[in-house]
Amino acid sequence: MSIPLTPLSCAAALALALLLPQPAAAETILVSNEKDNSITVIDGASLQVMRTVPVGQRPRGIALSRDGKQLYICVGDDDRLDVLDLETWRVTRHLPSGSDPELLAVHPDGRRIFVANEDDNLVTVVDAQQGAVITEIPVGVEPEGMGMSPDGRLLVNTSETTNMAHVIDTETHDVIANVLVGARPRAAVWQKDGARVWVSSEIGGTVSVIEAGRWEVTGTIEFRIPGVPREAVQPVGMVFSTDGTRVFVALGPANRVAVVDARTLQVQRYLLVGQRVWNLALSPDGQRVYSTNGVSNDLSVIDVEQERVVRSIPVGRLPWGVVVRP
């Protein structure tokens, strides 16, 4: 049977085509809204907000479970982790986290979650299956960044007031090295090859590149943006391009994301995004970087190939963390 090409059926077909997710971006973007106690869920194909899910108080750090079916959420003012089921969109479980959880890292074994307790100078290790605390590891003042090495052997935690990156053995839970970095370190991100870990310093205005094993800073990146006071340059979130050649660095109230050559450590470009940009996430296909902009309450969409900001999506108040579910 053939379908006659009427204007109506054309419109219907067009509408259908627009509604169908493009396979290249059939992803879901999840954003924590610190002041709204909610998670905004965005469809990666249409870049439309699909739903806003209420969660516990002051959600900041978020991470996917290993199987991608659940989202672990640090709800700092409730002193726990919420587990959000990504099928039913309901918080199905709470996990203990220690006091004031801010950021977390899921071990490749899928079982252990490492949580930074911002007001307790601790990293708490949680068993996600048992729902129990395994141990607590003393670190510096205001622990924040949590960078799990690709092989899961090491965790790098930053402490914002101590100004250090603490290297933790994930088996023995010992702190094996402490590396002094610039003031108020935030994120710790590993290269895929595990050779170096990058640490951003919000008040220092720099990114320190630390060589694994030697635990020394072997490179420091500074950012100079014409017309922007040095004090406004506050590096926080970082993400590598899929091929590892470029690093995107969120620069806080400078309202820009820097594109850095991972080999030469030179800044190639500054991309203007929303206000006070903090955290970044890469889409699974490597085509986009998403940024949470805490003051303008939106999410910027960066085209990685063109190094261009292509869209801004309003989300909740004080958007903080962002992850992408394939």
Partner 1 sequence: MLSRRQAFSAAALLAWACFAAPDSAAGQTRAGGAVLRIGYLGLLPDRRMPNTFLDPPPQDEGVQGARLGIADNATTGRFTGQEFVLEERLLRDAEAVEPAFRELLAEGIRFVLADLPAPLLLQMADLPEAREVMLLNLGAPEDALRNESCRRNLLHLLPSRGMLADALAQFLASKRWRNLMLAVGPQPGDQLYAEAIRRAARKFGLRIVADKPWTYNPGARRTDTGHLSIAAEAARFTQGAPAYDILVVADEAGDWGDDLAYRTSDPRPVAGTQGMVSTSWARPHEQWGATQLQRRFRARAGRWMLPRDYAAWLGTRALGEAATRARSTDPEAVARQLRDPGFEIAGFKGVPLSFRDWDGQLRQPVLLADARSLVSVSPQPGFQHQFSELDTLGTDRPESRCQFR
Residues at the site binding partner 1, with contacts judged by CB under 8 A: 100, 118-119, 121, 138, 140-142, 159-164, 166, 175, 178-180, 182-184, 202-206, 214-217, 220, 222, 229, 231-232, 234, 253
Strands (E), 181-266: 185-190, 196-201, 206-211, 216-222, 238-240, 246-250, 256-261
Name the one residue in this structure whose structure tokens are 């420091």: 220
Nearer to partner 1, 160 or 298 (CB): 160
Q: How far apart are CA 49 and CA 250, in angstroms?
A: 23
Q: Which residues contact 166 (CB under 8 A, 6 or more apart)?
A: 139, 140, 156, 157, 158, 159, 175, 177, 178
The CB-side HSE value for 280 (13 A sphere, CA atoms) comes to 34
Least distance CB 238 / partner 1 (angstroms): 18
**Whether the Cβ atoms of residue 83 and residue 71 lie closer than 8 Å to each other:** yes
Least distance CB 81 / partner 1 (angstroms): 19
Least distance CB 97 / partner 1 (angstroms): 16
Nearer to partner 1, 44 or 140 (CB): 140
User: Rounded to whole angstroms, what are the CA distances from 25 to 70, 152, 315?
Assistant: 20, 28, 19
Which structure tokens are listed for 54? 């209420």
Least distance CB 156 / partner 1 (angstroms): 14
Least distance CB 312 / partner 1 (angstroms): 22
Nearer to partner 1, 220 or 312 (CB): 220
Nearer to partner 1, 28 or 293 (CB): 293
Q: How far apart are CA 200 and CA 184, in angstroms?
A: 8
Q: How far apart are CA 65 and CA 239, in angstroms?
A: 19
Nearer to partner 1, 179 or 239 (CB): 179
Nearer to partner 1, 40 or 206 (CB): 206
User: Angle CA(217)–CA(218)–CA(219) in degrees, nearest 5?
Assistant: 100
Nearer to partner 1, 145 or 182 (CB): 182
Strands (E), 34-141: 38-43, 48-54, 59-64, 70-75, 80-85, 90-96, 101-106, 112-117, 122-127, 132-138
Least distance CB 222 / partner 1 (angstroms): 7
Least distance CB 325 / partner 1 (angstroms): 29
Least distance CB 59 / partner 1 (angstroms): 15
Nearer to partner 1, 109 or 216 (CB): 216
Name the one residue in this structure whose structure tokens are 């199987």: 67
